[in-house]
Structure 1
């Protein structure tokens, strides 16, 4: 019966698809659907997308060659209201029968429900109506094509179109374009009436977008207008606008050359009822007035407090609440300097970055005290944000550790806390959750918990005993972050406490560039329950327990009822006997026990990390819609070297392991570096190719022979290799034999092709490659270590596809990854061995993976 039902359902679905596949079912008689636009330029087929974009009508979109959106639209009933009413017309008694157990009003409303009308509305919205040929639009397309070529220097374009019928309801259109010979710039002359502007133009004339010998392009003229305007307005010409620049073009010759005359007339303005003209003036700033508590309600009130600091005038309606230097350091408009738009923009950015004011307003007015009328008063209006603000969050989460988690946080932000535009943020967070995978002897549902406290103090300048203006000028918008935090967690079974402290400087060397220098980043991790290790890391326990069943000779190490090692007494005793050769075992088993013990010591030891680091990032992305850019990030971090320098200089003794200690704890010493590069290519029509490459390595030395777990790398997950779950890939070819697999070197490469499916639903095809390895540390297990270039053959490859739903402010992402090349498998079973849905990995994420 089940097979019969399945077959019936399959036939119904196939029938629906076949009925929808009649692409012309919604085409009226004597009309035709556009199937293709053919463009021929100078008798050759053209695939130029810019030319194609000039056409008003384009064929219906396809998905892998299938008219998905068109067929979805065809599935919809064009008149669901009439169809619903027709049911009662054909069966007159049906309406009365339905009205007996539903009211007449409810029966009428049923016709507007999702079942009868909503489904059709949804299909119409997601689908795409057939593109019916309109020759009027084709004629308008020719006008746009001609205009496009004209703007690119082809002044004698001829074009036409021809309708080619393929069937009574299908046709294609052939566009034929003859461009002729393009025109080139022959000469550029200028006629600038204001002498001061003529001299100013001459200083940057060599940067002109209009050059002799260059093919005519309208875009160059617009960019030249903007270039001149920017140059003038950054050199004091306050009243200058781009429309003050005009061009006179001379093409009255037969040599396809264009003579360009650039014209800038004197300043023309309205003075009461008459229009006056005078030469442009170059303005200087005579005063900078800063209003520190401006609002629409107090605009007309008298100022009760004011001060002058470094030629800046500060005003307040109440007592001035800010140190003058904190405000004036953010203002780049200075008395005696020329008016410049760049100074206005930079001042706005810096003031907004203080986070104690709303977005500032900067206005200029001509100083009437100057008889030459060549001075401006700059007025900076600042509206303070609320001094205190409270924030809360509440989340229900799911992760590879927690089956369900409930998290919340409470934060208090205090602005201008030290009257120098500083911001103090105090926050508390908490989380409780449930995980069936963790050790839970009491069988409690909420067996995961965490709470933490944080304090962050931000300074809008470099907080340092000495002046740093020459090294990091204020134009780079520097800031200082001082933070500390504490957390207590039981979410991995070892019950950790974590104390952190950071002193970091941030600045922007150039536009779209950011830099950060951590003077110190300190972290202390204390494991409160290390004896619970083998209850948490069950894979390690199972491997150790299996070896003990063959070689253990001490009955006190095992539970008599099960024959398994007792945690902690039995695991510790058996491991010690093996490593001290009390119990002789083969070399392979000895290496396995040694590896398990080294990892246990590493993950249960308390860690103290004092590091210094520098990170730099650069992006060419202009806004959230930009899909043609690159992004580069690099980081270098050094931990423990300062402590070792102090210890050596102070001749401090080493412990029995030959290492230095601080607070009776061996501190970590390593150097770590990372490189991350992302590149996007926009193929238009919402088709985007994104590529990411990552390399990271952390090398222990001196006081350490391994990297702390918190600073190591893992592979797998929704933002990494999506064919593996987090921590389930590597190291090397080991096959993730441990519970949480990590290492100190990582390579990752990803490529993703994104495309539109229907409406806001997007699709993606992706390939993720990479792995992690142990290198130059105390790990001796050969399959997990990177010994040379030949180990690159252990790079895993995952491929798959995904769906995205664009909600404008964020993207909901679903990905399905398949293990295409698995280095953990034996030879002959590495390629496509588990390439099926049963072994695939489903990933859910917010926003794109990179």
Structure 2
């Protein structure tokens, strides 16, 4: 134990010495009068701010300081190190120039700091937040040789608060609408003065008026006057419409004619001349001489109506829905006054069709932690306007092969071919009238497909699937996928004598040879706000519910007793309830790093006509997107050891329940290269004891059966895809004896045999989660 502690201390001392040497190396190239800029330090004086407020204010104001000092880790300036290492390369030395420009960054010098400008920025930002008596001073910091920084001392004083917010009312319709909007203002008495919030309120007032028909009004027509002399640290706010506001902006407008040019070319400057050949459809006047689109596609897309007051929400909704149809490359809109006396507007929509037909061929190479190497060829043909109603019809054919040249699965190759067709309508096809106010048009989708999979020397599987369902989005963050009917039929074939002999008496392997029929509704809900780039903390959640044979089993009186098992087309159907949940949290730690955590859990319960979950609906763990320290589908269930079967091949391990957790630290290293450190944990279990999987039943001791692995990886972000390389090794093996499951003491990176048995390499496209 003492030996291990000495090694740890020596390692820490070595790291400190290493970083110190390279920290010095980062400044030794500077001139006699040059100093490396160490950054800005903000110090708040006075007791007007709470500790929490000082912390948040420090974070906000520090981000405004310029220049930004060279990035460092524990004082080691990694990018500056590579810049200095490259030196001053000649034009012919491409490698050194690449190292300097891509991996490095030039030194940020103390002389580059504009102290007066930074001081003005600090004062201005604080005054905008109501600290009108702020005082900012500065002095120089010298944290070490050849380094200098700036300390800004801030005395904010008391923050001014709103005493009153009023509005000069009169009898005009515009003022009446503004008075109504004032009821919901956030500029309430007692709240802190905040210029950004005042600007947001002006925009809100403008949006309110736009939705009441004031098309030509603008937020710039509103003025908020501030009086800071009314009391001690208080202000009065007064909203008024500027005197120079154009008369055009003071009147609400209604929609007159709606013109749609369905085959508009951007270079055509005289499109309106084609109105002579237009056709009338409901409220729309449509110019589509070639008849490319059915007029009915605009019923759900365009929400502006002739004779109704102009509404900005309906205006934006119409544009978003036209885009979401997916058949137009460009969507352009404009309004023109058709009757100035009666305040009417004509709406024009200029739509440029996209090429409806597309053919895509993809060739993919792949490698996974089960030592399978292979390739897949995908051919996809699609037509985005199949029946001239923005329907999307697609046909996908694919074929692939996975070869294993080593380990226990050597020679047990996997081949597959498949065909899938789908047809999507831009509407809900239902006997019920379903309306949506979302910017995304709800869709109905039907799919039909089949696949043939052969696992050489073992068996083959033929599967057929069909579904009918609906997809709709509440917003950019919430999405629903409801399949009213989702049918999947799996039929085994070409079972070899070897597999029959090995599977005999092993229920888990015998199940693979059963015909499987599942049908019923499925529902998936997805929420994600990860598209909010400036949000520090974002989440992703995906939850699903899968029901099979529930109503049918109830009507037929199905029971798992073999004598009462019910069949459809000669195949016993599966009856179960399955739910799965995937939650992810993304926390930004800086501009180039983040911490990602994930919890993935699910459970499936068979009942009625089924004694156990169908094999294709169970859970698996391990592999490049799961617990990366273990081969794909080789963990569990529970503490079961898959090696005890002594088979020539490794059968997939599956279970009724899944719990998986992941933690990953990601950081951009340089250019397109990103690094990661991660820890994965989890397992699968059966809800009932299975004779050939001892130790696989879920119990109160489940946490002691977690598999745990850790590792590091590199990711190459090439904009349109991410190529990922991960190396992982086990920390805890669930099928070892209870006292020997932690294997941290066995880690020997220098031992080739240990690396061969434990170090897992994962190559994948995209992030694991």
- Please give the range of the TM-score, normalised by the shorter of the 2 chains: 0.7 to 0.9
Query: Contact between 1:20 and 1:75, CA under 8 Å: does it hold in 2?
Result: no
The CA distance in 1 between the partners of 2:169 and 2:368, in whole Å, is 67
**Mean alpha-carbon deviation: is it higher for 200-209 or for 690-699?**
200-209
> How far apart are 1:328 and its partner, in Å?
1.8
Shift of the 428–167 alpha-carbon distance from structure 1 to 2, 3 Å rule, reads closer
The CA distance in 2 between the partners of 1:249 and 1:73, in whole Å, is 51
Partner of 1:538: none
Shift of the 29–204 alpha-carbon distance from structure 1 to 2, 3 Å rule, reads same
Query: Contact between 1:612 and 1:637, CA under 8 Å: does it hold in 2?
Result: yes
Partner of 2:364: 395
Partner of 1:793: 704
Partner of 2:386: 417
Unaligned runs of 5+ in 1: 1-10, 82-110, 270-276, 535-567, 576-593
Shift of the 824–265 alpha-carbon distance from structure 1 to 2, 3 Å rule, reads same
> How far apart are 1:182 and its partner, in Å?
1.5
SS at match of 1:521: strand
Partner of 1:287: 257
Shift of the 805–654 alpha-carbon distance from structure 1 to 2, 3 Å rule, reads closer
Partner of 1:478: 442
The CA distance in 1 between the partners of 2:698 and 2:228, in whole Å, is 68
Query: Contact between 1:286 and 1:335, CA under 8 Å: does it hold in 2?
Result: yes
1:753 matched to 2:763? The reply is no
SS at match of 2:358: strand
Partner of 2:517: 608
- For residue 688 of structure 1, the aligned residue among 587, 591, 594 is 594
Partner of 1:812: 723
Larger radius of gyration: 1
Q: How does 1:441-460 map to 2 (within 5 A)?
A: 448-460=414-426
SS at match of 1:490: strand
> How far apart are 1:653 and its partner, in Å?
12
Query: Contact between 2:66 and 2:113, CA under 8 Å: does it hold in 1?
Result: no
- For residue 821 of structure 1, the aligned residue among 727, 732, 751 is 732
Partner of 2:752: none
Partner of 1:555: none
Shift of the 144–475 alpha-carbon distance from structure 1 to 2, 3 Å rule, reads closer
Partner of 1:512: 477
1:223 matched to 2:134? The reply is no
> How far apart are 1:482 and its partner, in Å?
0.6
Shift of the 66–730 alpha-carbon distance from structure 1 to 2, 3 Å rule, reads farther
> How far apart are 1:22 and its partner, in Å?
1.8
TM-score, normalised to structure 1, is 0.79
> How far apart are 1:37 and its partner, in Å?
3.4
Partner of 1:348: 319
Query: Contact between 1:627 and 1:688, CA under 8 Å: does it hold in 2?
Result: no
> How far apart are 1:438 and its partner, in Å?
9.8
Query: Contact between 1:426 and 1:456, CA under 8 Å: does it hold in 2?
Result: yes
Query: Contact between 1:700 and 1:776, CA under 8 Å: does it hold in 2?
Result: no
Partner of 1:731: 637
TM-score, normalised to structure 2, is 0.87
1:112 matched to 2:76? The reply is no
The CA distance in 2 between the partners of 1:411 and 1:163, in whole Å, is 64
Query: Contact between 1:521 and 1:611, CA under 8 Å: does it hold in 2?
Result: yes
1:527 matched to 2:527? The reply is no
Query: Contact between 1:696 and 1:746, CA under 8 Å: does it hold in 2?
Result: yes
Query: Contact between 2:549 and 2:573, CA under 8 Å: does it hold in 1?
Result: yes
Partner of 1:463: 429
**Mean alpha-carbon deviation: is it higher for 776-785 or for 660-669?**
776-785
> How far apart are 1:623 and its partner, in Å?
4.5
The CA distance in 1 between the partners of 2:44 and 2:738, in whole Å, is 54
Query: Contact between 1:394 and 1:408, CA under 8 Å: does it hold in 2?
Result: yes
The CA distance in 2 between the partners of 1:304 and 1:424, in whole Å, is 34
> How far apart are 1:782 and its partner, in Å?
4.5
Partner of 1:585: none
Shift of the 621–656 alpha-carbon distance from structure 1 to 2, 3 Å rule, reads closer
SS at match of 1:224: helix
Shift of the 216–457 alpha-carbon distance from structure 1 to 2, 3 Å rule, reads same
Partner of 1:32: 35
Shift of the 729–123 alpha-carbon distance from structure 1 to 2, 3 Å rule, reads farther
1:620 matched to 2:529? The reply is yes
Q: How does 1:108-507 map to 2 (within 5 A)?
A: 112-114=92-94, 118-134=95-111, 136-165=113-142, 169-191=146-168, 195-253=172-230, 255-265=232-242, 268-269=245-246, 277=247, 280-296=250-266, 299=271, 302-303=274-275, 306-318=278-290, 320-368=291-339, 371-372=341-342, 374-400=343-369, 403-436=372-405, 448-464=414-430, 466-469=431-434, 477-491=441-455, 493-507=458-472
> How far apart are 1:765 and its partner, in Å?
2.9
Q: How does 1:72-111 map to 2 (within 5 A)?
A: 72-78=82-88, 80-81=89-90
Query: Contact between 1:70 and 1:127, CA under 8 Å: does it hold in 2?
Result: yes
Shift of the 776–377 alpha-carbon distance from structure 1 to 2, 3 Å rule, reads farther
Q: Deviations over 1:197-244 (max 9, x none)?
A: 221122232321322211111211121122112211122110112212
* Cα-Cα RMSD: 3.1
Partner of 1:87: none
Query: Contact between 2:303 and 2:318, CA under 8 Å: does it hold in 1?
Result: yes
Partner of 1:108: none
Shift of the 618–19 alpha-carbon distance from structure 1 to 2, 3 Å rule, reads closer
> How far apart are 1:297 and its partner, in Å?
5.5
> How far apart are 1:346 and its partner, in Å?
1.6
Choose between structure 1 and 2 for higher RCO, CA contacts under 8 A separated by at least 6 residues.
Answer: 2
> How far apart are 1:620 and its partner, in Å?
2.5
The number of residue pairs the alignment matches comes to 730
The CA distance in 2 between the partners of 1:140 and 1:654, in whole Å, is 78
Q: Deviations over 1:573-621 (max 9, x none)?
A: xx5xxxxxxxxxxxxxxxxxx4x2x112201112111121111112233
The CA distance in 1 between the partners of 2:493 and 2:715, in whole Å, is 42
Q: Deviations over 1:662-694 (max 9, x none)?
A: 222212111111122222222333332222222
The CA distance in 2 between the partners of 1:642 and 1:263, in whole Å, is 64
Query: Contact between 2:138 and 2:150, CA under 8 Å: does it hold in 1?
Result: yes
Q: Deviations over 1:800-838 (max 9, x none)?
A: 333333333433333333322332222332222444542
Shift of the 782–306 alpha-carbon distance from structure 1 to 2, 3 Å rule, reads same
1:675 matched to 2:581? The reply is yes
Unaligned runs of 5+ in 2: 1-13, 644-649, 750-754
Shift of the 344–622 alpha-carbon distance from structure 1 to 2, 3 Å rule, reads farther
Q: Deviations over 1:466-520 (max 9, x none)?
A: 13225x5686621111110112222464222121111111112344211111111
Query: Contact between 2:560 and 2:611, CA under 8 Å: does it hold in 1?
Result: no
Query: Contact between 1:457 and 1:482, CA under 8 Å: does it hold in 2?
Result: yes
Query: Contact between 2:466 and 2:486, CA under 8 Å: does it hold in 1?
Result: yes
The CA distance in 2 between the partners of 1:283 and 1:27, in whole Å, is 67
> How far apart are 1:783 and its partner, in Å?
1.0
